Amino acid sequence: MAPKVWQLGSPGTLIYGFYDALRKRLNRKLVHYIISCSPETGNCVVLEAGSGTAYASSILCRESCIRLSVAMDIDPEALREALKRDPHLCVVVADLTALPFRSGSIDITWNSSTIEHLPEPMHALEEMSRVTRGGGKVFVGVPNVYGPLGIQRAMQTTAAGEWIGKTFALKDVRNMVSIVGLSPVDSFFYFFRFFVGVLGKKP
């Protein structure tokens, strides 16, 4: 199997377990943010487009305001791990640049620490916007070039640099969100400013 540059170690290893614990802490905070963005009427359909082991989706699907939480990832191994942890999850194996969902079928489409690993991040954002309904929201979070990962520029050719992926400034993310036809309505830095996120609203 080809190495996964976005993953530290393999499931079951010590380093993977440490990284997974950090990711769970991060995802709990992101879940609270996603819930705060959901429609006031509830009955919300949420897509985590690039979910990995989908810890956040497991939490979201148990919230009363969420009708359906879908975890989607290109890595079947990650989704198998997700289903071992939570057999009730709704999971889909798919490519983020070719989402298998109808246009305008999702209320909130989101990911964190995902598109920086893609050769063409804009293609992923275009797809995330396409499947989101009018009035719905898209959230994307990426490594912050001005945060603690600022040294990543000097690490790009190393294994650690590959794991981190590309880094972005807030203005870059806002611009990308605008290019795909979304209106940036909120932004914030999270996880000790390692990441920067932008929330866009679809007209």
CA distance 150 to 148: 5
Q: 49 or 151, which is more confident? A: 49
pLDDT digit string, tens, across residues 82-109: 999 999 999 999 999 999 999 999 999 9
Of 91-95, 147-151, 171-175, the least confident: 147-151
Question: What's the count of helices (H) and strands (E) in the chain, helices before strands?
Answer: 6, 7
The fold of the 14-201 domain, in CATH, is Rossmann fold (3.40.50)
Angle at the Cα of 144 (from 138 to 147), degrees rounded to 5?
A: 145
DSSP string, 175-191: HHHHHTT-EEEEEEEET
Helix (H) or strand (E) holding 62: none
Outline where 132-169 has alpha helix (H).
159-164
User: Which amino acid makes up residue 7?
Assistant: Q
Tokens of 14: 């010590």
The per-residue pLDDT for 5 is 42
Whole-prediction pTM value?
0.85
pLDDT digit string, tens, across residues 177-197: 999 999 999 999 998 888 999
Give 6's pLDDT tier (boundaries 50, 70, 90). very low
Pairing of strands 90-93, 44-49: unpaired
Domain ranges of the chain: 14-201
Report how far apart the first and last C-alpha atoms of the chain are (Å, whole number).
Answer: 42
pLDDT digit string, tens, across residues 112-133: 999 999 999 999 999 999 999 9
User: Which amino acid makes up residue 49?
Assistant: A
User: Which amino acid makes up residue 69?
Assistant: S
CA distance 98 to 113: 18
CA distance 121 to 138: 14
pLDDT digit string, tens, across residues 45-79: 999 999 988 999 999 999 989 999 999 999 999 89
Residue 3 has pLDDT above 50, yes or no: no
Outline where 63-158 has alpha helix (H).
76-85, 121-131
134 Cβ contact list (under 8 Å, min separation 6): 104, 202, 203
